[in-house]
Amino acid sequence: MPEFNAPLRDMRFVLHEVFHGPALWARLPALAERVDADTADAILEEAAKITGQLIAPLNRSGDEQGVAFEAGAVRTPDGFRQAWQTYRDGGWVGLAGNPAFGGLGMPKMLAVQFEEMLYAANCSFSLYSALSAGCCLAIDAHASAALKATYLPALYSGQWAGTMCLTEPHAGTDLGIIRSKAEPQADGSYKVSGTKIFITGGDQDLTENIIHLVLAKLPDAPAGPKGISLFLVPKYLVNADGSLGQGNAVSCGSLEHKMGIKASATCVMNFDGATGYLIGEQNRGLAAMFTMMNYERLSIGIQGIGCAEASYQNAARYACERLQSRAPTGAQDPQRIADPIIVHPDVRRMLLTMRALTEGGRAFATYVGQQLDIAKYAEDAEERDAAQRQVALLTPVAKAFFTDNGLESCVLGQQVFGGHGYIREWGQEQLVRDVRIAQIYEGTNGIQALDLLGRKVVADGGQALAAFAAQIREFAQAQPPFCQPLLNALNELEDLSQWLCTQASRDPNAIGAASVEYLQLFGYVAYAYMWSRMAAVARDALVHDPAFYGAKLASAGFFFERLLPRTLSLQASIRAGSAPLFELDAAQF
């Protein structure tokens, strides 16, 4: 059975040496009193134990057994309930939550690294926690004081869990056409009715209560997305003293039978006049829900990184042990019947691709976490606003690019195993199945690309992009390693962005035709920035740990020489415009 060992050395490198997390926390008063370098390292150490020793061993058995739907209730696989109890007792659900309601208040820079461990260990188990954390974020940001006091403590503790109920059978991306309704009641509550599909953790046996955040429309709501409101609908009603009351009119109708994440309950949920409570303002529910969705998009992006890390560990270990053929330069170990496959150039190409993409993603996720911490905790309003604009720009890149690379890395890992990669016992085929959903849920990667190019670049007039580019140029003034290819790629991105802004004013199809390739191009430039930053630190620290920092410099070189050139083909594809997509009539497809 494959093992998972959290990459603690690399996580500390990124957190402490590249992005100077402890120095940032020390100047943010709300964080300074909660966390320092020693606290962060202790949390990462404990997280590595719980993910590697408790949660990872349930990954394959959970996939084999899956969730069950019996007598209208969902049962999780063997071992999940006991693991959840240990997990909740450790306070992991509320790691970054509001301390006023029982959260630990840890910085997002630290939380993203924990999330990576969790996804690498067991995607299905991770999702129950991730949805609860996102649910808490939306309630904390938009709900009334009474709702916060009633629901957040039990959610942060893991005693209760949360869900996000958006999608309906006829309405996925186009939420403006949802049919779920909410009828106001005399006591200020609402009766919520409708059917939601693809609901992660819609029902399960891990927690005492489940808190659903449900999008629905009021009777007099405007048409389209401007008429959507957000409601909190508990599985069990909560009494005034905080104890659980009677069951609400909400039920799981069935479970989806899926390609992967089989130990995660993906439910059809029926709301039949269920009692709910308005979160935020009427007809402003989509904006409130996006607080949760944007959290989940970054989290699901990190799922891609976690799966990629697990794939890399499995494949690298196998490549060093599997004996097949001799090295092209001659036998490397004449005493054995063959050389380990790590000697073969193509195996090294696959492993280095996985390593460069995963370590670049880890750095970028930590960078986005840093911006989230600044946006939330900085005392200066201008600094907060600048960081929030960066988060808005980079979130679709993180979700889509991390998960695209996650699939590539899992498939490459499977390829390293050869025929054994197709066999269940090695774990690689499960990784491929589990990571595949990450490109689809929480907004497909195509939708993320449209958001990036259409809203965050073209509609914004390129202002957020200009701020990101200015930061990269300021860093490059110090002449870090790989400075010139980084600046060349950045110049190409900016030139292409300006060209696309012009094209979009002339061609309605321009944004949709270019968006996916544009997001990929943006992602490679962002990773180039990350790798240049990491290489600068590694160069200066090389004498202190030649093995670690030398490997970091070599991986950086591989990224710039073998992966960054992918931007050239992406540029050519984008500049071809939308015309080649419309040469065929619909009837010819």
In three state form, how does the secondary structure of 88-115 look?
Answer: HHCCCCCCCCCHHHCCCCCCHHHHHHHH
Specify whether the CB–CB gap between 211 and 136 falls below 8 A. Answer: no
Phi-psi map region of 327: left, alpha, beta (phi>0 left; psi -120 to 50 alpha): beta
Residue 302, pLDDT score: 98
Distance CA 115, CA 305 (A): 10
Range of the domain at 369: 302-579
- Segment 508-527 shows an average pLDDT of 98
The verdict on residue 217 lying in a domain is no
The verdict on residue 541 lying in a domain is yes
The pair of structure tokens assigned to 282 is: 């009427």
Residue 25, pLDDT score: 98
Residue 172, pLDDT score: 84
The verdict on residue 106 lying in a domain is no
List beta partners, residue 238.
Answer: 244
Confidence of residue 1 (pLDDT cuts 50, 70, 90): low
The verdict on residue 40 lying in a domain is no
Q: What is the pLDDT of residues 466-504, one digit of tens each?
A: 999 999 999 999 999 999 999 999 999 999 999 999 999
**Burial readout 485-515 (b: 16 or more C-beta within 10 A, e: otherwise):** bbbebbebbeebbeebbebbeebeebbbbbb
Residue 572 has pLDDT above 70, yes or no: yes
Q: What is the pLDDT of residues 552-567, one digit of tens each?
A: 999 999 999 999 999 9
Distance CA 572, CA 568 (A): 6
The verdict on residue 226 lying in a domain is no
Residue 508, pLDDT score: 97
Q: What is the pLDDT of residues 306-324, one digit of tens each?
A: 999 999 999 999 999 999 9
Residue 290 has pLDDT above 90, yes or no: no
Q: What is the mean pLDDT of the chain?
A: 97
Residue 118: partners with Cβ closer than 8 Å, 6 or more residues away? 47, 51, 55, 125, 126, 129, 306
160 φ, ψ to 5°? -115, 165
The verdict on residue 357 lying in a domain is yes
The verdict on residue 8 lying in a domain is no
Q: How many domains does the chain have?
A: 1
pLDDT > 70: percent of the chain: 100
Record the pTM. Answer: 0.97
Q: Give me the CATH number covering residue 397.
A: 1.20.140.10
Q: What is the pLDDT of residues 11-33, one digit of tens each?
A: 999 999 999 999 999 999 999 99
Distance CA 323, CA 45 (A): 34
Higher pLDDT, 546 or 3: 546
Residue 346: partners with Cβ closer than 8 Å, 6 or more residues away? none
The verdict on residue 395 lying in a domain is yes
Q: What is the pLDDT of residues 340-390, one digit of tens each?
A: 999 999 999 999 999 999 999 999 999 999 999 999 999 999 999 999 999
- Segment 529-541 shows an average pLDDT of 98
- Whether 425 sits among the annotated catalytic residues: the reply is no
Catalytic residue among 442, 474, 517, 583: 442
Confidence of residue 171 (pLDDT cuts 50, 70, 90): confident
Residue 289, pLDDT score: 83
Burial class for 588, CB neighbours closer than 10 Å (0-12, 13-18, 19+): exposed
Residue 175, pLDDT score: 86
Confidence of residue 544 (pLDDT cuts 50, 70, 90): very high
Distance CA 5, CA 437 (A): 24
Closest alpha carbon to 562 in 515, 519, 520, 524: 524
